[in-house]
Amino acid sequence: MAGTDTTAQVGRPREFDHEAVLDTVVDLFWDRGFGATSMGDIVARTGLSKSSLYGAFGSKDALFETALDRYLADHRRTIDEILTNGSKGLDDIDVFFSGVEEQAGLTERRGCLAVNTATERRTTEPALVQMSARHRDAMRDGFTAALTRAVDLGVVDADQIDDLSNLLVTTALGLAVMIGGGAPTDEVLAHLASARASLRSGRGSAE
Amino acid sequence: MAGTDTTAQVGRPREFDHEAVLDTVVDLFWDRGFGATSMGDIVARTGLSKSSLYGAFGSKDALFETALDRYLADHRRTIDEILTNGSKGLDDIDVFFSGVEEQAGLTERRGCLAVNTATERRTTEPALVQMSARHRDAMRDGFTAALTRAVDLGVVDADQIDDLSNLLVTTALGLAVMIGGGAPTDEVLAHLASARASLRSGRGSAE
DNA sequence: GGCTTTCCGGACCGGTCGGTCCACAACGAC
DNA sequence: GTCGTTGTGGACCGACCGGTCCGGAAAGCC
The reply to whether residue A136 touches residue B183, judged by beta carbons under 8 angstroms, is yes
Min Cα separation B86/chain A (Å): 24
**Length A121 CA → D24 C1' (Å):** 39
Regions in chain A scoring below 50 on pLDDT:
1-8, 203-207
Please tell me the distance from the alpha carbon of residue B168 to that of residue A158, in angstroms, as a whole number. Answer: 24
Q: What is the mean pLDDT of chain B?
A: 90
List C-alpha distances in Å: A198 to A99, A156, A194, A207, B188.
19, 12, 6, 12, 21
The reply to whether residue B115 touches residue A201, judged by beta carbons under 8 angstroms, is no
What is the residue type of A155? V
Confidence at residue A205, expressed as pLDDT on a 0 to 100 scale: 41
pLDDT tens-digit profile of B97-147? 999 999 887 878 899 999 999 999 988 888 999 999 999 999 999 999 999
Please tell me the distance from the alpha carbon of residue A50 to that of residue A66, in angstroms, as a whole number. Answer: 17
**Length B43 CA → D9 C1' (Å):** 12
Q: Is the predicted pLDDT of residue B204 greater than 70, yes or no? A: no
The reply to whether residue B191 touches residue A36, judged by beta carbons under 8 angstroms, is no
Confidence at residue A105, expressed as pLDDT on a 0 to 100 scale: 79
Kindly tell me the sign of the dihedral angle through the C-alpha atoms of A73, B192, B23, B57: negative
Please tell me the distance from the alpha carbon of residue B16 to that of residue B6, in angstroms, as a whole number. Answer: 18
Q: List b or e across A117-147, with b for residues whose CB sees 16 or more CB atoms inside 10 angstroms.
A: bbbbbbbebeebbebbbebbebbbbbbbbbb
Triad A101, A178, B64: Cα angle to 5°: 155
Min Cα separation B166/chain A (Å): 5
CB B111 within 8 A of CB B179: yes
Q: Please state the rounded mean pLDDT for residues B170-197.
A: 96
Confidence at residue A44, expressed as pLDDT on a 0 to 100 scale: 94
Q: Is the predicted pLDDT of residue B165 greater than 60, yes or no? A: yes
Confidence at residue B139, expressed as pLDDT on a 0 to 100 scale: 98
Q: Is the predicted pLDDT of residue B156 greater than 50, yes or no? A: yes
Confidence at residue B122, expressed as pLDDT on a 0 to 100 scale: 87
Q: Is the predicted pLDDT of residue B2 greater than 90, yes or no? A: no
Q: Which residue is nearest to nucleotide C25 (CA to C1')?
A: B12
Please tell me the distance from the alpha carbon of residue B87 to that of residue B149, in angstroms, as a whole number. Answer: 7
Of the ranges B15-19, B116-120, B159-163, B203-207, which one carries the lowest mean pLDDT score?
B203-207
